[in-house]
Amino acid sequence: MKHILSSIVMLFATSLAFANLVGMEYETVAETAQGTTYRVYASFDNPTDELVAVYALENAPMVVGVSTSFYQDAVGANLAQTINPAFFAAFPTLQYDSWFTIGSEDSNGTSDVQQVGMDAYFSSFAAGDGFTVDTFVGGSWFLLPGQSADAVAGSDLRVLVGQFTTDGVVNLTMNFQWDNANSDTFNTEGLSLSFPEVPVPGCTNANADNFNPIANEDDGSCTFGGGLATGLSYDVVSSDPLGTGQSTYRIYANFASSDVEVTAVYGTDSEPWSLVGSEAFYQDGVGGDFGGAINPLFYGSFPSLEFDTWWTIGAEPGDDDGLNSAFDPALTAFSDWNNGGDFVVNTFIGGSIFIVPGNNGQGVPINGRVLLGQVTTSGTTDAVVNVQFRDANQESFYASGMTLTFPVAGAGCNDPLACNYDENAEGDGDCIFPQEFYDCDGCLNDSDGDGVCDELEVNGCTDNAACNFDINATEEDGSCLQLDACGVCGGDNSSCSGCTNPSADNYDAGAIFDDGSCIISGCTNPAADNYNDEANNDDGSCIISGCTNPAADNYDAEANNDDGSCIISGCTNPAADNYNADANNDDGSCVVSGCTNPNAQNYNPEANNDDGSCTGITGCTYAGADNYDAANTLEDGSCVFSGCTDSSAENYNPFANNDDGSCDFEPCSGGGCPYDSNGDGEIGSADLLDFLVAFGQACS
């Protein structure tokens, strides 16, 4: 019996993933005197996902609890890889021991699990008790990625993490680290699981309108789109029509009313649309992606075409089909599907098939359901479908996340020709017939006895220790490669590049070759006090000393540390009218107002701006004097009177004390003027010239 419990998942991804770790599940494997033995799995939605670690941290604790105790066999172990099934015959109860693992159930597996920080907790577990890991250091059991086929989800989409035998109730909270096919690493924390469960029937689909979070058994009561949609169903169209053990099924969307119309089937990153099979889907060589595009007239020439795998909205092959489609070019859903793989639409752009509402009625339910697709496969199929539809009032509704798993086990096979014939079966929906190259006992031809039919052998690397181990290979072809020191498969140790400078921000301790990518943060300005000539990433820490005062003569706009060097020119005389208290360099601009007259009693020798305040000024106070100054208030006898000072002159001025050469004398006449050589009655320049001519000559 298989039980699944979904949990709230927190993902921390390095890149966008097309897969998820969807939860934990358990199954009951034995009921013995030692108790009930359960196995717990991490569940994925992609077969290539690989579990690499189960861990605990302070903020992501691990809880392994039990209401009674765990059965621990006397010759058992904490890790499954150390249990040798060869001892089961001698120690039958060993197979019910409680243990942890990643994928492998015993020493025959491929998982070489290591542990760190778990010694004390494993000791408690070995004593039959539970434990909680919530310390800062934490603990983990783990393995190297790409080294174990058992750690890969595979066709059953799950990886074994533990076996627990008890007569009580087990409560688990675990954290997982896992890689997808692109080696992108993800952490999923806080997944919880409790078992055995008390059956609680109800709707277990979280996307349904009436989802019951405490239900653990789906009773088919889920409704979607305001209660108008009631989920998905399937019919068996044909059992093994091709003689390959594959059966053909049709998928339907069910509705509570026929007064609706399906207009689209779609998928996005938040509402994925998928069809995932445990075995390959049959895709006919002349088939199509959509049922309405297939012409049934060709069935006579191509009988297998009738059982092709396709999608549709209501239209079967041969029907009038108005289907349209639009898909993200980055999606590989159809190419994967056409090669027999899974159909997954889960990107942001997504994709859809759709019809024009009211165009031809193909989206209207017949007998309460609308055909959505046909698949032919020998395995189990898990469908997740999102449907847009409208009601009679043209109002649109969305039924997202509807799920269906088929075929339902338990009907049995009543066909005596089938390999799983059951004479007590009530139906024949699960009959399994030999595929090509097989009979019910195995291969028709197996020359090397490895259980793989000769016609189906796949060459490749079969060494699970090789980095290019091919899980699908059945025949070793010598192509195995090993990891180089850099971790490159088949590499030449030349790719271990990175930053090798321990002082760099992005120092890579694992790098062997420096690729010039080092980032060293610091001051990159050569003019700065703390310039770092190794820095190549300026972190704004530069300290540039200088004058930071914008008013200074030597202001440095780049300086951010004032070193007291500012020079501010201005008047430094506190007595000046324009005194500048900030100035430290006198530029001769001081303006000192006061009396600038040296003759004044209040003369200020420092004043350079006469403000008219002079008092008690000595000087000439006579208005007629040459040097009269109206500002003078005290006569000091310095008056200068210009004029003729020769008393014999006609214009003699007895008050003149400065002869200005203006004296005027009576003109000479009748030879009475001894120096008038030319006799013009005046002694002038001409007379002087005559005198100079005669000067120095002897008289005659």
Query: What does the pLDDT look like over 564-617, one tens digit per residue?
Result: 999 999 999 999 999 999 999 999 999 999 999 888 888 999 999 988 888 888
For the purposes of burial, counting CB atoms within 10 Å of the CB of 523, is it exposed (0-12), middle (13-18) or buried (19 or more)? buried
- In this structure, is residue 203 part of a structural domain? no
The enclosing domain of 260 has a CATH number of: 2.60.40
pLDDT tens for 160-191 read 999 999 999 999 999 999 999 999 999 999 99
Q: Do 349 and 270 belong to one domain?
A: yes
Same domain, residue pair 181 and 69? yes
Is residue 3 within 8 Å of 216, Cβ to Cβ?
yes
- Count how many residues are written for the chain: 700
- The per-residue pLDDT for 16 is 35
Query: What is the distance between the alpha carbons of residues 541 and 519, in angstroms, rounded to a whole number?
Result: 15
Give per-residue pLDDT as tens, 441-480. Answer: 667 888 887 667 888 888 999 898 999 998 778 789 999 9
CB < 8 Å & 24+ apart, contacts of 552-556 = 553/585
DSSP 642-679: EEB--TTSTTB-TT--EE-S----PPP-TT--TT-TT-
Mean of the per-residue pLDDT values of the chain: 87
Percent with pLDDT over 90 in the chain? 61
What is the reported pLDDT for 688? 74
114: nearest Cα among 150, 149, 79, 147:
79
Answer yes or no: do 96 and 180 share one domain: yes
Do 382 and 255 have their domain in common?
yes
CB 386 within 8 A of CB 273: yes
Instruction: Evaluate if residue 296 carries a pLDDT over 90.
Output: yes
Q: What is the pLDDT of residue 408?
A: 77
Do 245 and 389 reside in the same domain of the chain? Answer: yes
Per-residue confidence band for 11, with pLDDT thresholds at 50, 70 and 90: very low
The 10s digit of each residue's pLDDT in 537-560 is 999 999 999 999 999 999 999 999
Quick one: 23 and 158 in the same domain?
Answer: yes
Given a contact cutoff of 8 angstroms between Cβ atoms, the answer to whether 350 and 332 are in contact is no
Same domain, 182 and 120: yes
- Say if 683 falls within a structural domain: no
The residues, any chain, with a CB within 8 Å of residue 658's CB and separated by 6 or more, are: 626, 640, 641, 642, 643, 645
Q: Would you say residue 463 lies in a domain?
A: no
CA 641 – CA 635 distance, rounded (Å):
14
* Domain edge (last residue) among 543, 573, 599: 543
What type of residue sits at position 33?
A
Residue 216 has pLDDT above 80, yes or no: no
Give alpha helix (H) positions in 113-209: 119-126
Tell me phi and psi for residue 96, to 5 degrees.
-105, 10
Find the range with the poorest average confidence among 108-112, 399-403, 440-444, 634-638: 440-444
In the predicted model, is pLDDT for residue 19 greater than 70? Answer: no
The amino acid sitting at 568 is I
Q: How confident is the model at residue 375 (pLDDT cuts 50, 70, 90)?
A: very high
Q: How far apart are CA 426 and CA 414, in angstroms?
A: 7
What's the number of domains the chain is made of?
3
The amino acid that residue 353 corresponds to is I
Among 47, 3, 7, residue whose Cα is nearest residue 344: 47
Q: Tokens representing 624? A: 């007629």
Tokens of 150: 């058992």
Helix (H, G, I), strand (E, B) or coil at 120: helix
Taking alpha carbons only, the member of 296, 272, 277, 273 closest to residue 286 is 296
State how far the alpha carbon of 617 is from the alpha carbons of 319, 360, 625, 636, in Å. Answer: 130, 123, 16, 10
CA distance 555 to 567: 8
| pTM for the whole structure | 0.40
The answer to the question of residue 175 being in a domain is: yes
Contact at 8 Å (CB) between 529 and 561? yes
Strands 634-635 and 618-619: parallel
Q: Domain boundary residue among 406, 431, 452?
A: 406
Contact in structure between 182 and 191 (CB atoms under 8 Å): no
Instruction: Specify the amino acid at residue 478.
Output: G
| Burial (Cβ within 10 Å: 0-12, 13-18, ≥19) of residue 418 | buried
Q: HEC states along 619-641?
A: ECCCCCCCCCCCCCCEECCCCCC
Q: Are 235 and 123 found together in one domain?
A: no
Residues 99 and 17 in one domain: yes
Q: In this structure, are 276 and 145 located in the same domain?
A: no
Structure tokens at 5: 């419990």
Both 236 and 162 in a single domain? Answer: no
Same domain, yes or no: 12 and 141:
yes
3-state SS, residue 395 = coil
Residue 431 forms part of a structural domain: no
In whole angstroms, give the CA distance from residue 284 to residue 306. 9
Containing structural domain, residue 524: 496-543
Please report whether residue 490 resides in a domain: no
Range name among 13-17, 241-245, 260-264, 683-687 with the lowest pLDDT average: 13-17
Residue 521 lies in a domain: yes
Confidence of residue 17 (pLDDT cuts 50, 70, 90): very low
651 lies in a domain? Answer: no
Model pLDDT, residue 111 = 95
Contacts by 594-597, CB closer than 8 A, 24 or more apart: 597/631
